[in-house]
Structures are given as structure tokens and as C-alpha cells.
Chains A and B, each alone.
Chain A
Amino acid sequence: MSRADLPRSVRRTYSHAFYLPAGILFAVLFIAPTILAFYFSLTRWTLFDAEFIGLDNFSQFLREPALTNGMRNTLIYAVVTSGLKVIIGLLLAVLLTSSIRFRTLLRSIIFFPVLVSTVAVGITFAVLMHPSKGLINRALELIGIDGPSWLTDPGIALLSVAFVDVWKGVGIAMVIFIAGILSIPEEYLDAVRLEGGFWAKLRHVIIPLSRNATFTVILLSFIGGLRTFDLIWTMTRGGPGFTTDVIASTIYKQYQAGFYGLATAGNVLVFIVVIIIVYPMMRFFSRREIEL
């Protein structure tokens, strides 16, 4: 085979036809709905006919307290869960890459909830968080603390759900950090082992050198946090009142009530939020990566 006809053979062998089945599926179930969403968000829509009403849906979304609340809660939820996952995940990873006993067993125990369905976890914790009979408040009672009504007190309900989210998801953060820490060359760790203690190792070696892992954890959990639905829906259904509604649960409620245009406007708002927040984050992270 001569060099000159390689491109043609490449074209023939690695044919674009391999993209075709996946491409059709993506076009029909991802690209088309995404584009249609922008149109239908401007309509009063019943699935069968759509009446154009301009930006009414959006102004309603930004005006009604029940709906703006969802936006605020989503952001709080995403920030709290991704922040806690980074901190706890990193500490667990540092602990479980040291020479501690039962290392493998501990990793498995912490990782396991990742695989259990979110609905099952939500149901279980809704029971554990029962204000009077729940296991959590009973345990607190034993040490003399009067536990709060985790899921019915409007002031903390959202944080309680976020806490369960962290409980379920911190295993992923942990294994990502473990992979990051294990890829740090041994010499760097040896260097600080002589110089300083644990904090020096954490501050000057582990944190800066597992930066990729940190970015991945932040991105994954932030995107997950913006989309969160299952836990909220099984634990509180957005209540009490609308205090734990997030965008995804408002969208579902509007959809159930038959306001398809309004539900789709909510969807478009999530697109916009994701693009405004996540895209610059990715750009920033990938730039920092090159500097490393």
C-alpha cells in the first residue's frame, strides 16, 4: 500500500456509515427535542396544537414565587452537594490511600450506595428521618439532642435531602480522588514525607496534583445537582409548600398539570443555566489543565 492512497483507504475503512445508527438516534431523540424545546417554550401547548404566546411562559417562570423558588433551590442544592462531595470525598480518599487497616473493605462500604437506586435510598432515608420515630432522631435522643424535623421543617428540608445526596454519591467522588492520588508520582510524596506532616502533604502535594480529579468531581456533581429530581421527588415531593422544589420537580408538576409549554420553558431555563455556568467552568478547567 503506497502512502499516496492511504487517505482514500482511511476514508473507505473508517467509513462515516459507522456513525449512522447512533446519529439517527441522536438526531431524533436529542437534537430534535432540544431544538423543538426552544419553539414550544414560546407556546401554549397541548401536544396536539400549540398557540404562540411569545415569552409569556418565561415571564411566568420568573415571576411566580413557586417557580423562582425552584431556581434558587436548584442552585443551593448543586453548590452544597458538590462542595461537600469534594471535601468529604478528598478526605476519604486521602485516608483510604494511606496504610490504614481495612482499606479495601472501607472503600467498598462507602462506594456501595452509588449503585443502589435513588428511589430506594430516598424511601429509606425518608423513614430514617421521621421526626419522632426515625432512627436518626432516636439516636440523637440517646445523647440528649432533640433532633429537628428533617423533612418537614421548611428551613432545613432542602439541606436534609442534599445530605442524603452526598451520602449516596460521595463514593464516586472518593474513587475519582483515589485514582487521582494514585497517579501522583511517588517522589513527590516522599519529598514531603521528610519535610512536613499530614497537612503539608495535603496542601502542597495532594490538592494541587489531584486538580483534575477535583475538577471532575465538581463538574459531575454540579451537573447532577442541577438535574436532581429522584431524591427530591421521593423524599418531599417539593414540600413542605414549595420549599424543596427544584427546577426538575417544577417541570414535572407543570407537565402533570398539562402545562406543557410552561414545563418546556422550565427545561429551556435549565439549558441556559447549564450553558451559563457549566460551559465556562469547563473552559476554565481545561485551560488550567494545560498549564499543569
Chain B
Amino acid sequence: MKKRRRIRENLSGVVALAIASVVFVIPFLFMVVTAGKDRAEASRLELSLPTEWHLQANIEQVMATGRDLMLTALRNSLILTVASVALIVLLSAMVGFVLQRRRDRTGSAVAALMLAGLILPPALVPTIFMLQWLGLFKTLLGLILVETMLLMPFAVLIFRTFMTAIPRELDEAAIIDGAGPLRLFFKVILPLLRPAMITVIVVSSIAVYNDFVNPLYFLPGNGNATVQLTLYEFQSQFSTKWNLLFADVLLITIPPMIMFIFFQRQLVSGLTAGAVKG
């Protein structure tokens, strides 16, 4: 009886793995082999190993396209992601801290606003209007501020929930020791928020890095793109050079892949936050 059950578990596991491989792994495999082919071979769109690997040459060719376009894009995406994530963490932790500790009318208003930010779609063209008014339209700084604003509601939710696990007695002890609000926050609370911080960093860095709509609206124009925009540009430019297009796809997919390998647990916990009451 027990033995038969083990066999069944093994067998269904193998079947499930086979199906999942076909559905979820083959598209990625296709990406990799196409990125490694030469132009003629890639144009057949087959799932086969390249007769000869040209991956490095293809990537070099992508990097050389359009006056350092790719290099600029990689640099822009790096700055965008790092700066936005730093701002998201700092500003949202501050909000989450006071929001959880102090129940008052302002707090309810802030909470309602965060909820609105989670649900309502942003008004795109009026945002351009505001950015232009600030002199930040078509600048990386403008885009950084937009990304920060968009991800803050999610981050505040995570920090506020995590704050409930930090006992108030700790605050009181710090205050009795003479700590002011800023010292309490930066020296006592912020270090304790580390697990929540890692979750926020991992989830929002992937969201910012992968974002396409906001760079499209707020950082238009050639030559100053983010990596996602290069993909979009190459799609029309390389419409017959699949090997180069997929070399770019592959190149751009590497950072999230690394995140996935090291932080899968934090990613899952961040994305399920709020799903189970807590």
C-alpha cells in the first residue's frame, strides 16, 4: 500500500516535470539557442542547437549597435534601479514606521492614499506635464522619482506589516535612553527592519528594472534608453536578425535570473504579502 503510493508520487512527479519543462522551459531554451546562432540559421526559428556557437560575437554586435546605445542603456538601467530602490526603501520605511506606531486621522488618510496608489492607474500625460514643469521630463531623475512613487504603496504595506513584529517597548527604552525620533528610527528601527528591507529591495528592483511603460513615456528619444527600451527598439530594427534580438533578450534576462537564484524565498514572500491575513 505504502509502496504503491510512493510509486504514484514519483510517477506523477515525473509527468508533471515533463509537462512543465515543455511549457515553461522550452521558451527559454529557444531564447538561448537562437541567441547562439548565426543569422541564417536563426531565421529558421528552429529549436535546435546551433551548429556553431556565435553567442559572444552576437552579444558584441549588439553592444556595438548605434553609438554605445546598449552601454548607455545598461548604465541608465543600473542607475535607475539602484537609485529608485534606495529611495523606495528609505521613504517607505519612514512612512511604514509612523503609520504602524501612531493611529490617528493623518495615518488613515495616508493609508487610504497608499491604497489608491496601489489600485488607480497613473495619469500618464498629466505626469509628463508635472515633470516638464519641474524640468525633469526626459531625465533619469524624473523617471527615478516616478518609479519611487509607483512602488512606494507596496513597500509601505510590507514595512507596516513588519513593524507589528517590533515591540514598542524597544522604542520606549530608546526614548528613555535619550534618543530623539531620528535616532530611534535610524539606529533602532531601521536595522531591525532588515528582513522586510530585503524583500522590498528584491521585489522592487526587479519591477523597476523590467518596467517598460514608464521609460517609454518619461524617457523617450533615441540614445538615452533603458535596457527594456533597447529591446523594443531592436524588435523593429533587427526584425530579420533574430540571433541579435535574442542575444539582447538573453543579456537583459540575466540580472533577474541572478536575483531569482539568490532570493527566491524573499521574492515569493514579497509577492504573497497580504494574501494570507497578517
Contacts and interface: CB of A to CB of B under 8 A. Distances in A.
Contacts of A167: 23-24
Given A15-B181, A29-B145, A230-B213, A263 B125 contact: yes
Interface string A271-292: 1001100110010000001000
B134 interface: yes
B27 A128 contact: yes
Interface stretch (A64-72, A79-87, A119-127, A154-162): A119-127
Interface string A166-184: 0100001001101110010
Nearest to A113: B24
A212 B275 contact: yes
B213 A172 contact: no
Given A14-B181, A30-B149, A133-B45, A102 B98 contact: no
Contacts of A175: 268, 271-272
B252 A179 contact: no
Contacts of A179: 272, 275-276
A115 interface: yes
Interface string A258-269: 001001100110
A33 B256 contact: no
Given A124-B30, A176-B271, A18 B94 contact: yes
Given A13-B181, A133-B44, A102 B13 contact: yes
Nearest to A98: B9
Contacts, number: 253
Interface stretch (A103-111, A145-153, A187-195, A199-207): A103-111
Interface string A122-148: 011101101001110000000000000
A13 to B, nearest CB: 5
Contact of A14 (B46, B97, B117, B264): B97
B25 interface: yes
B208 to A, nearest CB: 11
A123 to B, nearest CB: 6
Contacts of A44: none
B20 to A, nearest CB: 5
Interface string B210-239: 101100110000000000100110010000
Main secondary structure of the interface of A (DSSP, over half): helix
Size band of the interface chain B makes with A: 35 or more
A52 B110 CA distance: 33
A116 B254 CA distance: 9
Nearest to B171: A13
Given A19-B110, A99-B9, A255 B275 contact: no
B253 A120 contact: yes
B264 A47 contact: no
B121 interface: yes
A229 interface: yes
B60 to A, nearest CB: 20
Contacts of B31: 120, 124
A47 B252 contact: no
Given A28-B134, A120-B252, A213-B276, A101 B14 contact: yes
Contacts of B276: 179-180, 183, 212-213
A223 interface: yes
B120, B125, B129, B246 — which one has the most chain A CB atoms within 10 A of its CB?
B125
Q: Which 8 A-B pairs have CB atoms at the shortest separation, nearest pair first? A: A101-B13, A37-B123, A33-B126, A14-B102, A117-B210, A36-B126, A33-B123, A18-B94
Contacts of A178: 272
A86 to B, nearest CB: 13
A37 B28 CA distance: 41
A216 B260 contact: no
Contacts of B122: 30, 33-34
Contacts of A268: 123
Contact of B13 (A11, A100, A176): A100
A34 B271 CA distance: 27
6 contacts: A19-B94, A26-B113, A213-B276, A230-B212, A234-B235, A267-B121
A252 B212 CA distance: 13
Contact of B30 (A18, A105, A135): A135
B245 interface: yes
A271 B95 contact: no
Given A26-B149, A212-B275, A47 B132 contact: yes
Interface in A10-50: 10-19, 21-23, 25-26, 28-34, 36-37, 40, 45, 47
B24 A112 contact: yes
Nearest to B128: A47
Interface string B193-222: 000000000000010011011001100000
